[in-house]
Chain A
Amino acid sequence: MFVEFFYELRNMKVPVTIREYLMLLEAMEKGVCEAKVDDFYYLARSALVKDERNFDRFDQAFGSYFRGLERKSAEFFDDAIPDSWMRALTQRVFSEEELEKLEKLDFDELMEELQKRLEEQDKPHSGGNKWIGTGGTSPFGHSGMNPAGVRIGGEGGGGSATKVWKKREFRNLTGEVEIGTRNIKVALRRLRKFAREGAEDEFDLDETISSTARNAGLLDVKMRPERRNRVKVLMFIDVGGTMDLHVKVSEELFSASKSEFKHLEYFYFHNFLYERVWRDNRRGRSEFVPTWEVLNTYSSDYKVIFVGDATMSPYEVTEVGGSVEHWNEEAGAVWFQRLMEQFPDLVWLNPEAPERWPQTMSTQLIYKLLGGRMFPMTLNGLDRAMDTLRKRNASAQNSIRPH
């Protein structure tokens, strides 16, 4: 029963499992819902979907299975067209003549045309009459006026649909930043280092027994502080320029780290490390923190994570005055060397695909500076990076260095 529906959901990338499907069947068998399609919709949604961000896809799958609605492929609409293009930035007011000029295309032609334009277009766009964007006379996008237009994203006006799933009220819950941070957090957990510090609020059984025994059997209660995660992390994040392409994954990493590490300090830089960094990205880089201050403030047991694509002109790494933003008195590599000496536990996370690293000279330079401690910003890469941070720490404690 409803096996097709189950696969339809999986096609739409709703993460349903057999266990949940069986739960739904069990509920049907026990007569939780009567033979009403609305009831079934509520029951199925409650049993199969565990995240409100997937409600919209569920609604689409439900609609297409039960009403034979035109199914729009999940990837095509949710991923291929960035949301920012669709944001209703401007609303063009059309004149009568313009309205007449809008031509009517049939659905398949529209789809073809849309794909063609996707390939040509590389910028968000508003207004105009050819590109996909908002408020234009192009048949694509939304808030436009083309009678045969395909609505992609945005608010639809005057919807008279009666069924709940057709309303697709959960559409604006899809695709939030938080998606996937759980995986990142689990990877970051590897860096936990527990230590007992702070207020003594946990009962120490062993110590109490031995202390009581020493006390000739008179009870002597011993308390100890609870184990807490003591790992300390400095994070340096590259912003602006080529990093704009990786904003999403950087945000995810950042929000995951913020909740995972209690002792997290973060700084921003542009392209490469020089004599200054800044703390608040929104303040337009006006409040700088001298890198010397960072070096002098934080002890060497801090673990350092750089996040950057390492893509720049090689001069920005090696030369005095190589920075694109200001005149730097000392080369970036010198500063980076200083930081590596102060903080032996340091890794660089690179959101660029590793295949591209050998092609970029600056990436190669930095990779060498790091002694290979550059990792791709994938879950696997993150795992390896955290392992490196942890193991270096362990080996530093266990072995006596020759000099």
Chain B
Amino acid sequence: MKFTGTDTYVTTDDLNMAVNAAMTLERPLLIKGEPGTGKTLLAIEVAQSLGMPLFEWHIKSTTKARHGLYEYDAVSRLRDSQLGVEGVAEIRNYIDKGPLWHAFDSDQQSVVLIDEIDKADIEFPNDLLQELDRMEFSVYETQETIQAKHRPLMIITSNNEKELPDAFLRRCFFHYIQFPDNETMEKIIHVHFPEIKQELLKEALDVFYSLRDVNGIKKKPSTSELLDWIKLLLVEDIDADAIKSDSSKAIPQLYGALLKNEQDVHMFERLAFLSRHQG
């Protein structure tokens, strides 16, 4: 079983290699890259194309490592004991399984997505070392050890907000998704908008890459923003000439989809003003 990209997700050779290596060796795969390069999507696509169940765990700043394993709902148990609900003596009824437990329980190999691990506390990855290594953990309340039936493929994404500890990194395969070049980007757009006209595509890409090249721009537009923009262009039925003539004024049409920062928009307006006066 090998991953080679899907109809809706364009991959590069090095990404395929990283996914397959992580799958064969049953080690976690750490994915980094600019926002909007499809890090989260990767796990979904891998699961789908290989027919494996997917368990998603989205990390927030307050997430603790144990939330991924299980949570013991003491409040409902107390409440039920007041009301004399059946089964209250069984502590298992009040343990909510987390995504990792579900994945360990799964009867076939599954994919676990740990999304944006860098959002959590700086020690969070260290708290997961044991679970990632041995793929087992113990439940304090019931004194049992949960062991993975099949070691799941862990895909972990990070936005580089915090550095991850070395001990954690040593256990992972690593892949950095580079920003797609013109050629790959064309493929990606064709996957999403198969009927787009070649001319419009070329102009849109030109505008997009020149926007990204401008120095000092605060928030560079990413792939997902480009796709939104092209969708808008298609919906509004704007043709290639319109973008072309606009690009001489430096502000592309419907720029709201590409530029998300007030200062960036101001800067482009100033640039446009300058280029009109020079030209």
Residues of A at the B interface (CB closer than 8 Å) are 15, 17, 19-20, 23, 26-27, 30-33, 38-39, 42-43, 45-47, 49-52, 55, 164, 169-170, 178, 181-182, 185-186, 189, 203, 205, 208, 212, 218-219, 221, 226, 259
Contact = CB atoms under 8 A, between A and B. Distances in A.
A186 B162 CA distance: 11
Contacts, number: 88
A15 B17 CA distance: 22
B174 interface: yes
Interface in B2-55: 13-14, 17-18, 20-22, 24-25, 27, 30, 32
Given A23-B27, A45-B14, A219-B79, A52 B162 contact: no
A186 B25 contact: no
B162 A259 contact: yes
A52 B122 contact: no
B170 interface: yes
For B78, B171, B174, the residue with the greatest tally of chain A CB atoms inside 10 Å of its CB is B174
A42 B18 contact: yes
Contact of B82 (A26, A31, A203, A218): A218
Contact of B21 (A32, A169, A170, A212): A32
B25 A46 contact: no
Contacts of B90: none
Contact of A30 (B18, B25, B160, B170): B25
B165 A27 contact: no
Interface residues of B, number: 36
A47 B21 contact: yes
Nearest to A188: B122
For B20, B21, B62, the residue with the greatest tally of chain A CB atoms inside 10 Å of its CB is B21
Interface in B150-186: 160-166, 169-176, 178
B25 A169 contact: no
B169 A203 contact: no
B74 interface: yes
Contacts of B74: 203, 205, 208
Given A46-B14, A46-B18, A27 B24 contact: yes
B18 to A, nearest CB: 4
Contact of A43 (B21, B160, B166, B169): B21
24 contacts: A23-B25, A23-B27, A23-B173, A27-B21, A30-B25, A32-B24, A32-B25, A39-B13, A42-B14, A42-B17, A43-B21, A46-B14, A46-B173, A47-B173, A47-B174, A50-B170, A178-B163, A182-B164, A186-B122, A203-B74, A205-B74, A219-B78, A219-B79, A259-B161
Contacts of A208: 74, 78
B146 to A, nearest CB: 23
Contacts of A212: 78
B78 A46 contact: no
Contact of A46 (B21, B169, B178): B21
Nearest to A181: B163
A42 B13 CA distance: 8
A55 B74 CA distance: 48
Nearest to B168: A50
Contacts of B122: 182, 185-186, 189
Nearest to A217: B82
Given A26-B25, A182-B163, A182-B165, A46 B75 contact: no
Give 7 nearest A-B pairs by CB, closest first: A182-B163, A42-B17, A50-B169, A52-B176, A46-B18, A42-B14, A50-B174
For A15, A30, A32, A46, the residue with the greatest tally of chain B CB atoms inside 10 Å of its CB is A46
